[in-house]
């Protein structure tokens, strides 16, 4: 019994150290993106900034594409934990829709790291193993976003096509995000307003519109 307790303690400590290492590496990657730009992001540079070995980075992420996926997931988690990203369900439909589209665009989809991540994904699309890994991790991230959206927009959670409608909103934001480097901001803003209006339409129920 004592032996088993020691094994569990060692495994728990190892898991904690592993999680701490991943967070340290992800913070280093974000620091590089913000201070030096995507051109300087590499496994070697992340290791240097984190004061770790390239082997440690490769052990946790394997490739730049996998690293970028986790950078985006890390960012989404931090945003989700923020107090002002997800609108409370108690707000009116109009206020919630406008708030979510604006915050999602400003803090996530219009950011350079978003397009950098997708460039990394597309660069490995012919690698079947990496592609499957990215699909699996993106599915996890997608479920996190859908869960948070369901809390902010419970009307969608109860609709027959609620999940598909939430996915449509997120896909539209991703599409606009990918266009950002090649499109004038003045043409994107009107589309964001249309997207807000679409979300409001999806939120309509048999109740009086708010």
Q: What is the CATH number of the domain that holds 44?
A: 1.10.10.60
Residues 53, 68 within the same domain = no
Global pTM reads 0.71
Domain boundary among 62, 83, 111: 62
Residues 88, 189 within the same domain = yes
In this predicted model, which residue has the larger pLDDT, 70 or 108?
108
**3-class DSSP state of 25:** helix
Residues 47, 73 within the same domain = no
Domain boundary among 38, 62, 86: 62
Surface-to-core class of residue 208, CB atoms within 10 Å of its CB (0-12 exposed, 13-18 middle, 19+ buried):
exposed
Mean pLDDT of 7-31: 73
Residues 99, 138 within the same domain = yes
| Unique residue bearing structure tokens 């599915």 | 139
Q: Which of 120, 171, 178 is nearest to 146 (CA)?
A: 171
CA distance 149 to 115: 22
Give the mean pLDDT of the chain.
82
- Domain region containing 50: 1-62
Residues 89, 127 within the same domain = yes
Residues 183, 88 within the same domain = yes
Residues 57, 119 within the same domain = no
**3-class DSSP state of 110:** coil
Residues 134, 55 within the same domain = no
Q: Which of 117, 154, 153 is nearest to 137 (CA)?
A: 117
Is the pLDDT at 96 greater than 70, yes or no? yes
CATH number of the domain bearing residue 101: 1.10.357
Mean pLDDT of 152-177: 93
Residues 138, 192 within the same domain = yes
Region of poorest pLDDT, from 91-100, 137-146, 201-210:
201-210
Residues 70, 172 within the same domain = yes
Residues 52, 137 within the same domain = no
Residue 95 has phi, psi (to 5 degrees) of -65, -40
Domain boundary among 9, 40, 62: 62
Q: What is the pLDDT of residues 66-92, one digit of tens each?
A: 777 777 777 677 666 666 889 999 999
CB distance 152 to 85 below 8 Å: no
Count of structural domains within the chain: 2
What percent of the chain is predicted at pLDDT more than 90?
31
Residues 186, 118 within the same domain = yes
CB distance 177 to 110 below 8 Å: yes
Is the pLDDT at 45 greater than 80, yes or no? yes
């Amino acid at each position: 019994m004592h032996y088993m307790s020691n094994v569990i303690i060692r495994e728990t400590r190892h898991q904690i150290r592993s999680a701490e290492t991943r967070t340290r590496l992800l913070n280093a990657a974000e620091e590089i993106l913000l201070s030096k730009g995507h051109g300087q992001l590499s496994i070697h540079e992340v290791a240097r900034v984190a004061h770790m070995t390239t082997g440690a980075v490769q052990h946790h992420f394997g490739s730049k594409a996998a690293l970028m996926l986790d950078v985006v997931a890390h960012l989404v988690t931090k945003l989700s934990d923020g107090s002002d990203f997800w609108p409370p369900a108690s707000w009116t439909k109009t206020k919630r829709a406008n708030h979510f589209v604006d915050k999602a665009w400003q803090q996530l989809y219009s950011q350079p790291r978003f397009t950098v991540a997708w460039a990394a994904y597309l660069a490995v699309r012919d690698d079947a193993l990496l592609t499957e890994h990215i699909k699996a991790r993106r599915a996890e991230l997608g479920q996190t976003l859908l869960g948070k959206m369901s809390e902010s927009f419970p009307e969608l959670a109860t609709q027959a096509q609620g999940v598909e409608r939430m996915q449509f909103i997120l896909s539209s934001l991703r599409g606009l995000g990918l266009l950002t480097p090649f499109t004038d901001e003045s043409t994107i803003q009107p589309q964001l307003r249309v997207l807000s209006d679409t979300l409001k339409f999806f939120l309509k129920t048999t109740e009086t519109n708010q």
